[in-house]
Amino acid sequence: MTSLEATDLSAVSKRHPDVFRSRPWKRYGPLMLILAVIGYSFYCWWFFSIGDALRKANTDIAGAYLADWISWEARPVIDIESDGAMTITFPRFSPLGSDPRPDWLEADREMRTRTITRDAPAVETKALNDKISNSFMVPDAKGTKPENGGATSFMAPGAPTGGNAAGETATVTETVREEVVSRAVVTFDSADRVEILPDQATVTRGDETLVIRLGPGENVSVDGPLPEWAEQKYEGRKVIARFGFAGRAEIDHDGVKVYKRFLGWENFVFDTNSAFWGKSFGEVMSMIVSGERVNPARSNLGQAWYDILYNAEWQHLDVWTKLLQTIIMAFVGTLFATVVAFPLAFIAARNITPNRLVNQLAKRFFDFQRSVDMLIWALFFTRAFGPGPLAGILAIFFTDTGTLGKLYSEALENIDDKQREGVRSVGAAPLLVQRFGVMPQVLPVFLSQSLYFWESNTRSATIIGAVGAGGIGLKLWEAMRTNQDWENVAYMVILILGVVYAFDGISNFLRSRLIGESAR
């Protein structure tokens, strides 16, 4: 190798100064580009008013929603009446079933004779604060507005006044003897608990203890300073004690609302309406094998299977059906696109069909198919065929005919001409020339590209599903809109990830078999 001395180098650079002088664009180009990007970011900050949106962001909710992905809450309410009697109620459709007595909620119960005053024929119109069993909203055909959840239907319209002719505030005083709770203890963690007496709540967290006096009247007062895990927004009003992930308790003069969080998905297999609910695996198995029939119409095995499939909260059957729809949308859409794009690509390829006009027509057709977005096709076909996988299939089919056709025709234009010449030289008919001169070269590439799109469409199918084109996308979107079913979202996300990873693997495997390792 010839080597140059430093003096030579400087001499060379002096003789050819224009070679070594860097042009301003080369020198300042990257810097300008970076500055432009930074400037653009500021513009976007203003354009989308990102700062404003971030300030308004509800970050408290974010944590709760994220926790909902992997956990659930039990929300008992301990009501304290004015005479000191307490009652424990769980919301309707509580994941703990009707009238639960969980072991983390100890209660001393006693029979007591009480005189109670209540509004005449009281109709419970308490709004449901727990989720309704059919919490997935009903998808409406046009995907515009969600139906109002079932909550209103529980309200009694115009409660009868019970024959009180005077028209005054109807109150009835009666004496009843009933079981009431005199003391309740909610255990959050081994060291964290709330003890509730009619006039006092004692919160223990770790080695700290907070005594909250309930009353007199509507006053809530705290002995000593508030620790940092407890909060009282207004003097004399409710105190919120937080226990981190384990939950929180809202302590007010007339009752304590408990939000206790458990890790895991509640009632994943059987819902509370099922006869198998709350039983261990062994118990369920013995019921199936030798138990008495729960439902005379079906064997226990059939009933258990039915209960799992139609689990009201998790809707396994529906979720899996929708997942299958998504897979099918991608599969059939890509397959049809392949089948249609295949012959058209031969027409579009310059070297196969020598007619320029026909080439251009086919190519512009591909461009049209591609450029009308998948979204537009999806909305069109949803309008035409109603929500469901047909719209998704057709949307994927139309878009990918364009994309695959373009790729195929490019592959065809890059083939080696020698094989065709060889086949033609022995006098083969034009169709046979394509079969033996062209196909062997391009088929692996074609198949590999189709497989790639099959895999990528599995992902796209989820998204276009949300605009009504069927599949799991719509279900996912509806579960998210209620803001209650994040655990269902997590369930579906896991299923989708599983499918995407599986198809990724299958497609990669097949492609590497088809065109060797280089395809990856």
Partner 1 sequence: MATVDNTTPLSEAGRVIETHWREMTSRRRLYTWGGLAVVLLALSGSLWFANETNAGKFFDRLPYFFDFFIDLAPRDALEPFRALFDLPSPYDDGSFKYNYPEGRVVLTSWLYVPEYFYKMLETLNIALLSTLIGFTFGFLLCFLAAKNLNSNRWLRGTVRRIMEFLRAFPEIVIAGFFVAILSIGPIPAIIAVSIHTVGALGKMFFEVVENADMKAEEGLRAVGASWVERVGYAIVPQVMPNFMSYFLLRLEINVRASTIIGAVGGGGIGEALRLSISRGHEAKTIAIIFLLFTTIVAVDQFSAWLRRRLVGDQAFDFGR
Contacts (CB under 8 A) with partner 1, residues 381-410: 383-391, 393, 403, 406-407, 410
Among 121, 114, 124, smallest CA distance to 170 is for 121
Listed ranges 6-14, 83-91, 300-308, 367-375: which one lies at the site for partner 1 (CB under 8 A): 367-375
**Tokens 């659930």, residue located:** 72
Nearer to partner 1 (CB atom), residue 255 or residue 392? 392
Question: Which residue from 40, 305, 320, 509 is in contact with partner 1, where contact means CB under 8 A?
Answer: 40
Structure tokens at 169: 């505030």
- Residues shown for the chain: 520
Q: Which of residues 117-156 bind partner 1 (CB under 8 A)?
A: 141-144
Nearer to partner 1 (CB atom), residue 266 or residue 504? 504
Nearer to partner 1 (CB atom), residue 76 or residue 389? 389
In the complex, least distance from residue 51 CB atom to partner 1, rounded to whole angstroms? 11
Q: Please give the distance of CA 444 from its chain centroid, rounded to a whole number.
A: 37
Angle, helices 374-385/439-464, rounded to nearest 10 degrees: 70
In the complex, least distance from residue 19 CB atom to partner 1, rounded to whole angstroms? 18
Q: How far is CA 112 from CA 109, 179, 181, 182, in A?
A: 9, 6, 9, 10
In the complex, least distance from residue 121 CB atom to partner 1, rounded to whole angstroms? 40
In the complex, least distance from residue 435 CB atom to partner 1, rounded to whole angstroms? 12
User: Rounded to 5 degrees, what are φ and ψ at 105?
Assistant: -125, 90
At 203, the amino acid letter reads: V
Beta strands in 81-199 (DSSP E): 86-89, 105-119, 171-187, 193-197
Nearer to partner 1 (CB atom), residue 29 or residue 162? 29
Beta bridge partners of 187: 193
Q: Does 365 bind partner 1 (CB under 8 A)?
A: no
User: Rounded to 5 degrees, what are φ and ψ at 336?
Assistant: -60, -45
Nearer to partner 1 (CB atom), residue 229 or residue 452? 452
Angle, helices 472-481/439-464, rounded to nearest 10 degrees: 20
In the complex, least distance from residue 257 CB atom to partner 1, rounded to whole angstroms? 22
Q: How far is CA 27 from CA 19, 22, 30, 37, 303, in A?
A: 14, 6, 7, 17, 75
Nearer to partner 1 (CB atom), residue 218 or residue 367? 367
Nearer to partner 1 (CB atom), residue 238 or residue 363? 363
Percent helix, strand and coil across the chain, each rounded to 5? Answer: 50, 15, 35
Q: Which of residues 494-513 bind partner 1 (CB under 8 A)?
A: 496-497, 500-501, 504
Q: Which of residues 48-67 bind partner 1 (CB under 8 A)?
A: 48, 50, 53-54, 56-59, 61-62, 65
Structure tokens at 71: 């956990």
Q: Please give the distance of CA 187 from its chain centroid, rounded to a whole number.
A: 31
- Long-range residue pairs from 203-207, CB within 8 A, at least 24 positions apart, any chain: 203/230, 203/241, 203/249, 203/251, 205/229, 205/241, 205/243
**Tokens 């062997």, residue located:** 440
Q: Which of residues 325-364 bind partner 1 (CB under 8 A)?
A: 325, 328-329, 331-332, 335
In the complex, least distance from residue 386 CB atom to partner 1, rounded to whole angstroms? 3
In the complex, least distance from residue 14 CB atom to partner 1, rounded to whole angstroms? 25
Q: Which of residues 209-248 bind partner 1 (CB under 8 A)?
A: none
Listed ranges 106-114, 118-126, 167-175, 493-501: which one lies at the site for partner 1 (CB under 8 A): 493-501
187 to 216: interface string for partner 1, x by CB under 8 A: ------------------------------
Q: Which of residues 434-463 bind partner 1 (CB under 8 A)?
A: 449, 452, 456, 459, 462-463
In the complex, least distance from residue 298 CB atom to partner 1, rounded to whole angstroms? 24
Nearer to partner 1 (CB atom), residue 245 or residue 368? 368
458 to 487: interface string for partner 1, x by CB under 8 A: -x--xxx-xx--x--x--xx--xx-x----
Nearer to partner 1 (CB atom), residue 58 or residue 113? 58
Q: How many residues form the binding site for partner 1 (CB under 8 A)?
A: 79
In the complex, least distance from residue 499 CB atom to partner 1, rounded to whole angstroms? 9
Are 413 and 428 in contact by the 8 Å Cβ rule? The answer is no
| Three-state SS sequence of 425-447 | HCCCCHHHHHHHHHHHHHHHHHH
Nearer to partner 1 (CB atom), residue 47 or residue 281? 47
The H-or-E segment that residue 21 falls in is none
Tell me the C-alpha distance between 67 and 249, whole Å: 17
Question: Which residue from 9, 11, 35, 44 is in contact with partner 1, where contact means CB under 8 A?
Answer: 44
